[in-house]
Amino acid sequence: MRSLLFVPADSERKIEKAMASGVDVIILDLEDSVALQNKPVARTVAAETLQRSRTGPLMYVRVNALETDLTTKDVAAIMPLSPDGLIQPKTETGSCVEKLAAMAGVDVPIIAIATETAKSMFGLGTYSQLNANLKGIAWGAEDLSNELQAQANRTPEGLLTEPYRMARSLCLFGARAAGIEPVDTVYVDFRNQAGLEQDCMQAVRDGFSCKMAIHPAQVETINRIFTPSAQQVAEARSVIDAFSKAGDAGVVGLEGKMYDIPHLKRSKKLLDRAKTYGVA
């Protein structure tokens, strides 16, 4: 997956727009984008959406945080309809994921949003120790900035400030250490196309494999940038071919550059990813 789009689960109109956006994963949101009085309606609409014949994007559901009294109701409403996965907000350690998995009662994929509290920053090494079906770790800046009582989480130029750069990096390390997908956070200025492109390119450069979105207009950009380009595929093939021709060599020279085994492994991973999206 490359793109995950949050949609308020109490809005059938927005769900329909999301279905036509080309996104890889729709996140039916029962949490932050739904007012408390609308939670029952959101559960009903989410369940009805999951009941439909599903041939398009995967359908995940973001449940409410365990610290509320809403999670049990969320799980009871949606799990009988077999969502493709769950998004768990405000996790602080891997034990939070274990609790949701036990509550769900089936082996459902879970993506944990794991940087939304100050305490959570110290638990990012615990996600490698789980029996639950944890598919990825995402990070979020908005709830975290609220808890830190920050005035902003980005500079006037749109760059993340230092606390949120650290949260982003620790999420990346925590996910890769656990052998699961690192998921980049949303870019909230959804009308700023140039800013979104820059955000996506930085995420891909650093090792994130997918990105969350808050508006259908962001999906095309995310999918395009998180899909390996023709040039990247060609370069990866060149490295793989050079090692193949060199036999058991641990290092090869190619167009004036030296490549060793980590470069070979990275090239193979990129080619596998490209094949997943039909561009190799």
The greatest distance separating any two alpha carbons of the chain, rounded to the nearest whole angstrom, comes to 66
The reply to whether 266 and 197 lie within a common domain is: no
The reply to whether 123 and 235 lie within a common domain is: no
The reply to whether 128 and 251 lie within a common domain is: no
61: nearest Cα among 93, 91, 96, 25: 25
Is 49's pLDDT higher than 90?
Answer: yes
Give the pLDDT band of residue 64 (cuts 50, 70, 90): very high
Instruction: Kindly state the average pLDDT of the residues 65-78.
Output: 96
The reply to whether 151 and 239 lie within a common domain is: no
The reply to whether 64 and 154 lie within a common domain is: yes
The reply to whether 68 and 199 lie within a common domain is: yes
CA–CA gap between residue 237 and residue 32 (Å, rounded): 44
54 or 13, greater pLDDT:
13
The reply to whether 210 and 268 lie within a common domain is: no
Instruction: Kindly state the average pLDDT of the residues 43-56.
Output: 91
Q: What is the pLDDT of residue 256?
A: 86
Domain boundary among 226, 247, 262: 226
Residue span of the structural domain in which 252 resides:
230-276
- The model's pLDDT over 140-150, given as tens digits with 9 standing for 90+, comes to 999 999 999 99
Q: What is the pLDDT of residue 252?
A: 92
Give the pLDDT band of residue 22 (cuts 50, 70, 90): very high
The reply to whether 187 and 260 lie within a common domain is: no
220 exposure class (CB count in 10 Å sphere: 0-12, 13-18, 19+): middle
Nearest 5 degrees, angle CA 31-CA 37-CA 42? 50
Ramachandran quadrant class, 255 (left: phi over 0; alpha: psi -120 to 50; beta: rest): left
The reply to whether 166 and 253 lie within a common domain is: no
CA distances from 141 to 36, 118, 124, 149, 262 (A): 22, 11, 15, 12, 32
- List all residues 6 or more positions away from 62 whose beta carbon is below 8 Å from its beta carbon: 6, 27, 28, 29, 30, 31, 86, 87, 88, 89
Specify the 3-state DSSP secondary structure of 143: helix
Q: What is the pLDDT of residue 129?
A: 85
CA distances from 15 to 44, 172, 190 (A): 13, 29, 18
The reply to whether 27 and 67 lie within a common domain is: yes
Q: Check which CATH number belongs to the domain holding 183 and give it.
A: 3.20.20.60
Ramachandran quadrant class, 63 (left: phi over 0; alpha: psi -120 to 50; beta: rest): beta
- Give the H or E element holding residue 60: strand 58-62
Beta bridge partners of 28: 7, 61
- Per the structure, how many domains does the chain have? 2
- The model's pLDDT over 79-127, given as tens digits with 9 standing for 90+, comes to 999 999 999 999 999 999 999 999 999 999 999 999 999 999 999 999 9
Instruction: State CA 154 to chain mean position distance.
Output: 20
Query: Could you say which DSSP state residue 30 is in?
Result: -
Instruction: Kindly state the average pLDDT of the residues 203-226.
Output: 97
pTM, full prediction:
0.92
Is 217's pLDDT higher than 80?
Answer: yes
78: nearest Cα among 51, 114, 101: 51
The reply to whether 139 and 257 lie within a common domain is: no
Give the pLDDT band of residue 132 (cuts 50, 70, 90): confident
The reply to whether 157 and 178 lie within a common domain is: yes
